[in-house]
Structure 1
Amino acid sequence: MKNVLKLSVLASVSLLLAAPSSAQTTLKLSHFLPSVHGIHTDFIVPWTKQVTQCTGGEVQFEIYPGGTQLGNVAKQQEQVLAGVVDIAHGLHGIPRGRFPRTSLIELPFLTRDAGDASETLWELYPEYLAPEYQNLKVLALHAHNGGLIHTSEKKVETMEDMVGLRLRTPSPAISAALTALGATPQGLPPGAVYENIQKHVIDGTVFPWDPVKSFGLNEVLKYHLDAGFYTVPFFFVMNQSKYDSLPANVQTCIDDASGASLVAKFGDWWDKWDAAGRKEAVEANHVITELTDAERKRWRETLQPTIDAYIEQTTEQGVENAREIYERMAELLAEKRQ
């Protein structure tokens, strides 16, 4: 009888060991944009579905967009590092000073194309940018299309028109450029721009077309200068320890959905998102002006000392090869424009 019971127990244990695991992992993912934004609808949600499908449902996601308890733009990196969330999409420039290498791509007139900028960042990441992402699994780096200057009451066509304007700025590099052009930069998160324009605290903002629509800014803006003189980078990162703790098949699914194949999508995505913002402005009979070639040359020449000073400042802050990174960025971006 004892032998029968012993065999029965052993058989039961064997069946348990052989049975497929039904354990399910839920990963928390946060970002700072509204749930109607293309980042959420075209990128984040499909990405999570791809990983879930690839893992056969073993991995599920809880998504926390802007406006939720975990959607603060200034906390995306720290939340991932602290393990409050597992994955986050954030803006390099808020809060300032955390990504000096990556942020060199913000310097004026390097690029105005989201696809080129995103692919350049990803190509530079392993050799030049990786030190900024300690304890993070970098899933993607990307940037937006060239930013415009949007104003509520004053039309901007020339450098002289910039003098005295109070403009929302996304980062130190853009702040330095705006100051050199005669404007007064004001640091604000994207979601605070509408109210501050409405209350005449600021005169306008620098943005690509997309957030103008996403944050309802066409309601308080009237003039748009298509200067295309800067871009801003974003990160999509995962807590490295959390990634390392996942089964190999889950890691593979995350890797397959990320990296170069994901980065390559941002150019078309930004073109789509920007088109909607511009269309809305056109339908509202706003004034849209293109920066002339002659005026663009003036801006470039005026801003060159600011660019050099910013690179030197970055070097002094501990990025000894800041000039090399900037020049490599410029080289790759020039190759992509050909």
Structure 2
Amino acid sequence: MAFEGTKRRVGGLAALVSASVLALGLAGLPGGALAQDRMVNLKLSTWVPPAHPLNPALQAWAASIEKASGGTIKSTLFPSEQLGKAFDHYDMARDGIADFTYVNPGYQPGRFPIFAAGQLPFLFSNGKGGSAALDEWYRAYAGKEMQDVHFCMAFVHDPGSLHSRVKIVVPSDISGKKIRPAGQTIAAMVTQLGGTNVQASAPESRDVLERGVADAIFFPWGSIMLFGIEKAVKYHIDAPLYTSPFVWVMNKDRYDGMSDAQKKVIDDHCTTEWAEKIATPWADFEHAGIEKLKAMSGHEVYPLTPEQVAEWRKATENLTMAWAEGVKSAGGDPDAALSALKESLARHDAAF
């Protein structure tokens, strides 16, 4: 009997040691991923070309996820609209055509009224702190405004400007011109100034300019050359006229189908810190485009005088009122939302 008792104690101890070793081994897996987690292969979709700095930043993000998940979450990036058009990327995430998508909500005017605050002129001074500020601010609204996807992060590009085939200096110069806007807010400005909006995604923009369908385009600086648009325009206002805000969103069913450990890995990579990490190489790239265009022959990059800046500010004042009406119509509080965004920008040293 003593022998049997000893055997039971030894066997129990061995089982306890084995369980402890197993637990330690699992705890040691990055991100707490469990051995029984099934493999997940994610499709990531962007509509910018492979050379765009957003793509390698997202690949680094995906590599960090793979490591943190113990190799159970792998990803493949599909750039250049391979899985769908730029205008469709929000619905592609909603419908599961891709698992993560890069979305410009401004491509669908009126659909995301609160988020459209990021398009208001003269708010952002830079894309790095601006991305952290935008992401931090929008987390209070994303669950309601983008409820049919799993929100991951938001960010902005470094402030862009107006690039044209004919010289434009002050707001009145837009009258009679055909302009490709950066989003719904800039489109509203073009209309009120007597211009005509030409809707085209970034990949389509060079073509509409070369064919004379558009006379000018609101666009970030480095991307002018990335998309070949410098071959169609020659005049560039050297002033931070606007920004475009973006989101990186996930299919809800894909997220819900993951284990708790895998969800935590995703959550740990959908943060304000990551939003700024993703945006930083892009911000540097866009800002460097100013000097590159200045150095190109056949291009004129010109600053605005303080008086001309004041004209642009006055011309855009009612855009905030129009945005506020859109938020009210959707049941939101525009004063609270805009105040919160400005406070976030100030905290991150990104206010204009």
Contact 2:46 2:79 in 1 (8 A): yes
Hey, what's the Cα distance between the residues in 2 that align with 1:110 and 1:226? Answer: 16
Which residue of the partner structure matches residue 63 of structure 1?
77
1:181 is the counterpart of 2:193: yes
1:26 is the counterpart of 2:41: yes
The CA deviation string for residues 60-109 of structure 1, in whole angstroms up to 9 with x for no partner, is 112221231x1411121111111222111111112332211111221121
Which residue of the partner structure matches residue 113 of structure 2?
100
Which residue of the partner structure matches residue 214 of structure 1?
226
Report the 3-state secondary structure (helix = DSSP H, G, I; strand = E; otherwise coil) of the residue aligned with 2:190. helix
Hey, what's the Cα distance between the residues in 2 that align with 1:326 and 1:266? Answer: 24
1:319 is the counterpart of 2:331: yes
Report the 3-state secondary structure (helix = DSSP H, G, I; strand = E; otherwise coil) of the residue aligned with 1:99. coil
Hey, what's the Cα distance between the residues in 2 that align with 1:94 and 1:111? Answer: 20
Hey, what's the Cα distance between the residues in 2 that align with 1:306 and 1:88? Answer: 28
> CA, structure 1 residues 211+77, in 2 after alignment: closer, same or farther (shift >3 Å)?
same
Which residue of the partner structure matches residue 260 of structure 1?
272
Contact 2:125 2:350 in 1 (8 A): no
Which residue of the partner structure matches residue 135 of structure 1?
148
> CA, structure 1 residues 268+174, in 2 after alignment: closer, same or farther (shift >3 Å)?
same
Which residue of the partner structure matches residue 55 of structure 2?
40
> CA, structure 1 residues 337+238, in 2 after alignment: closer, same or farther (shift >3 Å)?
closer
Hey, what's the Cα distance between the residues in 2 that align with 1:212 and 1:20? Answer: 47
Hey, what's the Cα distance between the residues in 2 that align with 1:22 and 1:326? Answer: 42
> CA, structure 1 residues 271+79, in 2 after alignment: closer, same or farther (shift >3 Å)?
closer
The CA deviation string for residues 143-181 of structure 1, in whole angstroms up to 9 with x for no partner, is 1122200012x2222223332221101322111122333
Match of 1:278 among 269, 290, 295: 290
Which residue of the partner structure matches residue 306 of structure 2?
293
Hey, what's the Cα distance between the residues in 2 that align with 1:319 and 1:112? Answer: 29
Report the 3-state secondary structure (helix = DSSP H, G, I; strand = E; otherwise coil) of the residue aligned with 2:75. strand
Contact 1:35 1:66 in 2 (8 A): yes
> CA, structure 1 residues 79+298, in 2 after alignment: closer, same or farther (shift >3 Å)?
same
> CA, structure 1 residues 71+281, in 2 after alignment: closer, same or farther (shift >3 Å)?
farther
Hey, what's the Cα distance between the residues in 2 that align with 1:177 and 1:314? Answer: 18
Contact 1:80 1:88 in 2 (8 A): yes
Which residue of the partner structure matches residue 169 of structure 1?
181
Contact 1:165 1:203 in 2 (8 A): yes
Report the 3-state secondary structure (helix = DSSP H, G, I; strand = E; otherwise coil) of the residue aligned with 2:80. coil
Hey, what's the Cα distance between the residues in 2 that align with 1:319 and 1:144? Answer: 28
Which residue of the partner structure matches residue 85 of structure 1?
98
Offset at residue 35 of structure 1 (A): 1.3
Q: Given residue 314 of structure 1, which amino acid in structure 2 is its aligned partner? A: V
Q: Given residue 55 of structure 2, which amino acid in structure 1 is its aligned partner? A: H
Question: Which segment drifts farther, 278-287 or 43-52?
Answer: 278-287
Hey, what's the Cα distance between the residues in 2 that align with 1:115 and 1:191? Answer: 24
Contact 1:213 1:276 in 2 (8 A): no
> CA, structure 1 residues 306+50, in 2 after alignment: closer, same or farther (shift >3 Å)?
closer
Hey, what's the Cα distance between the residues in 1 that align with 2:173 and 2:308? Answer: 12
> CA, structure 1 residues 307+49, in 2 after alignment: closer, same or farther (shift >3 Å)?
same
Hey, what's the Cα distance between the residues in 1 that align with 2:147 and 2:94? Answer: 9
Larger of the two Rg values belongs to structure: 2
Identical counterparts, % of pairs: 26
Hey, what's the Cα distance between the residues in 2 that align with 1:292 and 1:306? Answer: 22
In structure 1, the gaps of 5 or more residues are: 1-17
TM-score by length of 1: 0.86
The CA deviation string for residues 245-271 of structure 1, in whole angstroms up to 9 with x for no partner, is 212332222222231221122553233
> CA, structure 1 residues 44+108, in 2 after alignment: closer, same or farther (shift >3 Å)?
same
> CA, structure 1 residues 26+326, in 2 after alignment: closer, same or farther (shift >3 Å)?
same
Offset at residue 22 of structure 1 (A): 8.1
Which residue of the partner structure matches residue 17 of structure 2?
none
How many residue pairs get aligned? The number is 317
Kindly report which structure 2 residues correspond to 1:320-335, keeping only aligned pairs within 5 A, or say none: 320-335=332-347
Which residue of the partner structure matches residue 9 of structure 2?
none
Question: Which segment drifts farther, 128-137 or 194-203?
Answer: 128-137
Hey, what's the Cα distance between the residues in 2 that align with 1:243 and 1:267? Answer: 23
Q: Given residue 48 of structure 1, which amino acid in structure 2 is its aligned partner? A: A
Hey, what's the Cα distance between the residues in 1 that align with 2:170 and 2:340? Answer: 30
Question: Which segment drifts farther, 58-67 or 167-176?
Answer: 58-67
